[in-house]
C-alpha cells in the first residue's frame, strides 16, 4: 500500500471513530497513531512488514507510570490484523468490535496501577521531604522520579545516614561509633519506657 493511500484510509478511519490522527515523522513503514480526544486511548495502525504486505495491524498503547515504566503483568495486550482491501468503515468496525473491548480492559488496569504507583510515590516523596527538613537538607531526586536521602557529615559525629521509605515503614541506616550506638540504643529504651 502506498503511503498516501494508507494515510487517506487511516484518516477516514479516524473520522469514523471520532479520533485524531498523527503520522510519526521517522517511520520505516506506513504507520499512524489515533487518539481519542480527552482520554488515554491510543491506537497504533501500521501496514505489515516484508512478509505480510497485504495486512493492516492494529495495536494499542498505554501511558507510562510516574517512573516511566509501561509494563504491568496480566494484560491481554490485544492486537488484530485485517486485510488492506477492507474499506475504512469495515476496519473501523473491526477496531470497535475485535480490538477495543480487550484494549479498554487493559487500559483500565494500567490506569489503576499507575494511580496507585503515583500515590505511593507522592507519599514517599512527602515523607522524604519531612525527614530532609528535619536534617536541613533537600532530598535527592532519583532517575525513577522518587526522592531519597543519603546524608554525609550532616549531623555532628555522624558520618553517613541512609533513609528510604517502603510504604509501611521508614528504613534508616546509620554508621555509628560504638559510643554513638550505645547512646542511640539508650535513647530508644527511654522511648520504650515512656510508651509503657
SS percent in the chain: helix, strand, coil, step 5:
40, 25, 35
- pLDDT, mean of residues 24-28: 76
CB 145 within 8 A of CB 128: no
pLDDT at residue 188 is higher than 60: yes
Kindly report, residue by residue over 118-155, the tens digit of the pLDDT.
Answer: 888 888 888 888 888 877 777 777 666 666 666 655 56
Range 152-171 burial, b when 16+ CB lie within 10 A, else e: eeeeeebeebebbbeeeeee
Q: Sorting pLDDT into bands at 50, 70 and 90, what band is 29?
A: confident
The pLDDT mean for the chain works out to 85
- Among 82, 101, 165, 104, smallest CA distance to 130 is for 165
Q: How many CB atoms lie within 10 A of CB 99?
A: 18
**Residue 122, C-beta contacts closer than 8 angstroms, at least 6 positions apart:** none
Per-residue model confidence (pLDDT) at position 112: 94
Report how far residue 69's alpha carbon sits from residue 121's, in angstroms, rounded to the nearest whole number. Answer: 13
CA atoms within 13 A of residue 27's CA, in its CB half-sphere? 16
* Top-confidence residue, 145 or 11: 11
- Among 27, 36, 89, 80, smallest CA distance to 55 is for 80
CB 80 within 8 A of CB 101: no
Kindly report, residue by residue over 98-118, the tens digit of the pLDDT.
Answer: 999 999 999 999 999 999 988
Per-residue model confidence (pLDDT) at position 86: 95
Kindly report, residue by residue over 160-175, the tens digit of the pLDDT.
Answer: 777 777 777 888 787 8
Q: Sorting pLDDT into bands at 50, 70 and 90, what band is 44?
A: very high
- Among 76, 69, 66, smallest CA distance to 99 is for 76
Report how far residue 106's alpha carbon sits from residue 103's, in angstroms, rounded to the nearest whole number. Answer: 5
Q: Sorting pLDDT into bands at 50, 70 and 90, what band is 91?
A: very high
Kindly report, residue by residue over 45-87, the tens digit of the pLDDT.
Answer: 999 765 556 899 999 999 988 888 887 778 889 999 999 999 9
* Top-confidence residue, 187 or 90: 90
Amino acid at each position: 500500500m502506498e503511503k498516501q493511500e494508507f494515510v487517506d484510509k487511516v484518516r477516514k478511519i479516524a473520522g469514523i471513530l471520532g479520533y485524531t490522527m498523527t503520522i510519526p515523522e521517522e517511520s520505516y513503514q506506513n504507520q499512524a497513531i489515533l487518539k481519542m480526544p480527552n482520554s488515554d486511548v491510543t491506537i497504533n495502525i501500521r501496514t505489515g512488514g516484508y512478509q505480510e504486505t497485504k495486512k493492516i495491524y492494529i495495536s494499542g498503547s498505554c501511558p507510562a507510570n510516574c517512573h516511566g515504566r509501561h509494563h504491568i503483568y496480566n494484560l491481554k495486550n490485544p492486537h488484530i490484523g485485517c486485510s488492506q482491501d477492507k474499506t475504512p468503515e469495515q476496519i473501523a468496525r473491526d477496531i470497535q468490535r475485535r480490538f477495543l473491548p480487550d484494549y479498554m480492559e487493559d487500559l483500565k488496569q494500567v490506569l489503576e496501577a499507575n494511580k496507585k504507583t503515583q500515590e505511593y510515590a507522592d507519599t514517599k516523596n512527602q515523607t522524604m521531604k519531612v525527614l530532609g527538613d528535619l536534617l536541613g537538607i533537600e532530598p535527592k531526586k532519583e532517575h525513577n522520579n522518587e526522592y531519597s536521602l543519603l546524608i554525609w557529615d550532616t549531623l555532628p559525629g555522624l558520618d553517613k545516614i541512609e533513609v528510604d521509605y517502603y510504604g509501611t515503614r521508614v528504613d534508616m541506616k546509620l554508621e555509628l561509633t560504638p559510643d554513638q550506638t550505645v547512646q542511640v540504643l539508650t535513647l530508644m529504651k527511654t522511648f520504650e519506657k515512656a510508651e509503657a
